[in-house]
Every structure is written in structure tokens, then in C-alpha cells.
């Protein structure tokens, strides 16, 4: 039996990076401290908020709901609403909805269940089959991700949320980072940040990822020790089509052999997304229109026209 590094109890988690073992109680305080630090570091929550938590009923989102519920009990100016988007995946989603319902009713947490059917007129199963009939090349998860973001944002707006918290953890984020490298989607990498601001559009509910620095394993343990999900949690039937799940396996193998791989990738992502953002700023600046020739330029008058002017050949 591995013993907790801080007391005599049995450990439920060993952090291979700092070499410390944690019993249930010490793990809970380690986990919550870590998330509170992320929230503070990135200025995720203000004094007065109506926090909408995007919940699927799975372990990550139930952990996030539980933690934010605990924090909001201490802060009277924070209101919390859980929103679950039912995509309409037969044989799957109906099994995760009870986790939210049971929790919310037991703890008096406001919640809403919205669906693809209600907002889009079709379930994901229907959308996938229409796509197949039409021979479209998209995978179920592509529709699912895009529409879920769309519906979640609308629902968060509809309930009057000031901020939308999602349970993306460190593993999700570095998996997406690698997927975007493979797809050559550098603009999407710049958007993989812990906070997404309104960006000048009133219709966009600002998003935060409080689990940005949390390993999937840690959030799963937090869910289990708090009794938030059933241990026999099953996987979405469409998951096998998604490259994410292969990448997830590879990253887990790497992390096991070389602890710290995932954090290393997160730090790499932060550096790369900063560089991309700076490059994009220059690109935007460079796409002013030259007042003389009308070509794209980083200044009101392009370098070529400046030279031509200086050379006295502007009119030729």
C-alpha cells in the first residue's frame, strides 16, 4: 500500500512529477488548490458572475460542476447554472443525463437540459445519417463539436450567463494541439487558450477552461472520490472514428514512459500560440490598403510606393 505523503492514510493518487502521494482528503485539497490557482492566474472569474457550466454528465464536467458549486457557495455574488446539451446519440447520452439530474437535485443546483433537436431541428444521429446519404466527408465528431459549441453558446446566452465554463482538461487541450498540427490548422492553435474573450461580439459568451492545467487522470479521480459518476462510465459510439482517441492513447503511453510529456506540450502550445498571435497581428497590420496603389500594405503607403516616390518615378 502506498501511503499519503502528508498523513497515515492510503494514497489514491501519486503525482509522478513531484513524487508526492495523496490520500483522498489531501488529493481533494491539492486538486481544488490547483484549479483555484488557474482561475486566479488567468482572471477567469470576476466578483459578480452568472457562471454557466457546460455539463455532459461525464467525469470531467461533473468534477467541474462540483468544484464550481463549492466555490460559488462561498461567494454570494456568483450564480451557477449547469447546462447539458443532449446531442441525440442513441444508447449513450441518455446514460449520462441521470448523473447531472441526481447531483443537481441533491445539491440544489440550477440546471437546464437543451438539445440539438430543440436548437437545430435534428439529433446528431439524424445529422450523421443525412451527411452519409449526401456523401459528405465529415466525421460525426466534427458535426458534434461545431454544433455543441453553437448550442452551448446560445443556451448560455438564453439563461443570461456572463461566462461559460467548460471542463476541457490538459489532456484534451494537448490532444487538440497535436490534431491541429497534423491538420496544419495554425489559426486554431492560437485559439486554444484558457480564456476566450467576447472579441467585440455581444452574442459570444466569454469562455473559460478552469481545468486547463488538470490532467484527465486527476479529474477522473476527483469525480470518483466525490462519488459524482458511476465507475462503469461508457464511451460514445462515434468515438472510434475520431483521431483524437488514437492520439490520446499515444500521449498516455508517452506520459507513462516519460512523465511530464503532457505539461511539456502545454508549455509548447503556450509559446507557439503566442508566436502565432504576434504573427497574425503583423499580418493584419500588413493588410491595410496602400493609398497610392491600392495594394496590401503594412503602412498607409506601401514600401514600393515609398521607394517610387523617393526615386521620383511614382507617376511612371
The binding site for Zn ion (CB under 5 A) comprises: 290, 292-293, 302, 305
Shortest CB 253 distance to ligand SF4, Å: 21
Count CA within 13 A, CB hemisphere, residue 128.
Answer: 16
Rounded to whole angstroms, how far apart are CA atoms 91 and 98? 13
Q: Which does 144 bind (CB under 5 to 8 A by kind): Zn ion, ligand SF4, none?
A: ligand SF4
Rounded to whole angstroms, how far apart are CA atoms 236 and 58? 11
Under rule CB under 6 A, residue 99 binds ligand SF4: no
Shortest CB 167 distance to Zn ion, Å: 50
Piece of the chain touching ligand SF4 by CB under 6 A; list 70-78, 236-244, 266-274, 308-316: 236-244
Under rule CB under 6 A, residue 63 binds ligand SF4: no
- Three-class SS of residue 118? helix
Q: Which does 265 bind (CB under 5 to 8 A by kind): Zn ion, ligand SF4, none?
A: none
Instruction: Spell 67-95 as b/e; 16+ CB within 10 A means b.
Output: bbbebbeeeeebbbbbbbbbbbbeebbee
Under rule CB under 6 A, residue 140 binds ligand SF4: yes
Q: Which does 293 bind (CB under 5 to 8 A by kind): Zn ion, ligand SF4, none?
A: Zn ion
Exactly one of 39, 104, 141, 302 binds ligand SF4 (CB under 6 A); that residue is 141
Task: Label residue 302 left, alpha or beta by phi (over 0 means left) and psi (-120 to 50 means alpha).
Answer: beta
- Three-class SS of residue 164? strand
Q: Per-residue contact track with ligand SF4, 238 to 267, x per CB under 6 A?
A: xx--x-------------------------
Under rule CB under 6 A, residue 236 binds ligand SF4: yes
CA neighbor of 220 nearest in space, from 102, 211, 2: 211
Amino acid at each position: 500500500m502506498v501511503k499519503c505523503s502528508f498523513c497515515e492514510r492510503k494514497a489514491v493518487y501519486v503525482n509522478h512529477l513531484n513524487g508526492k502521494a495523496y490520500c483522498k482528503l489531501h488529493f481533494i485539497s491539492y486538486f481544488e488548490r490547483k484549479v483555484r490557482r488557474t482561475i486566479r492566474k488567468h482572471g477567469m472569474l470576476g466578483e459578480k458572475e452568472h457562471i454557466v457550466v457546460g455539463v455532459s454528465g461525464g467525469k470531467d464536467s461533473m468534477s467541474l460542476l462540483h468544484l464550481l458549486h463549492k466555490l460559488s457557495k462561498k461567494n454570494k455574488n456568483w450564480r451557477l447554472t449547469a447546462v447539458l446539451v443532449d446531442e441525440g446519440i442513441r444508447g449513450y447520452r441518455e446514460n449520462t443525463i441521470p448523473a447531472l439530474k441526481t447531483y443537481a437535485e441533491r445539491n440544489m443546483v440550477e440546471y437546464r437540459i437543451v438539445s440539438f433537436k430543440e436548437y437545430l431541428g435534428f439529433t446528431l444521429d439524424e445529422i450523421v445519417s443525412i451527411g452519409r446519404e449526401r456523401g459528405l466527408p465529415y466525421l460525426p465528431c466534427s458535426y458534434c463539436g461545431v454544433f455543441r459549441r453553437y448550442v452551448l453558446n446560445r443556451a448560455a446566452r438564453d439563461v443570461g450567463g456572463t461566462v461559460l465554463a467548460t471542463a476541457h482538461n490538459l489532456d484534451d487541450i494537448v490532444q487538440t494541439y497535436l490534431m491541429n498540427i497534423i491538420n496544419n490548422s495554425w489559426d486554431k492553435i492560437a485559439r486554444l487558450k484558457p480564456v476566450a474573450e467576447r472579441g467585440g461580439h455581444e452574442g459570444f459568451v466569454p469562455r473559460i477552461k478552469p481545468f486547463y492545467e488538470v490532467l484527465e487522470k486527476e479529474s477522473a479521480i476527483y469525480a470518483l472520490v466525490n462519488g459524482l459518476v458511476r465507475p462503469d462510465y461508457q464511451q460514445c459510439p462515434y468515438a472510434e472514428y475520431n483521431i483524437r482517441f488514437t492520439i490520446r492513447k499515444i500521449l498516455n503511453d508517452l506520459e507513462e514512459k516519460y512523465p511530464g510529456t503532457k505539461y511539456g506540450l502545454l508549455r509548447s502550445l503556450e509559446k507557439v500560440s503566442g508566436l502565432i498571435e504576434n504573427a497574425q497581428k503583423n499580418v493584419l497590420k500588413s493588410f491595410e490598403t496602400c493609398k497610392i496603389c491600392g495594394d496590401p500594405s503594412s503602412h498607409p503607403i506601401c514600401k514600393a510606393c515609398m521607394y517610387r516616390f523617393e526615386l521620383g518615378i511614382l507617376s511612371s
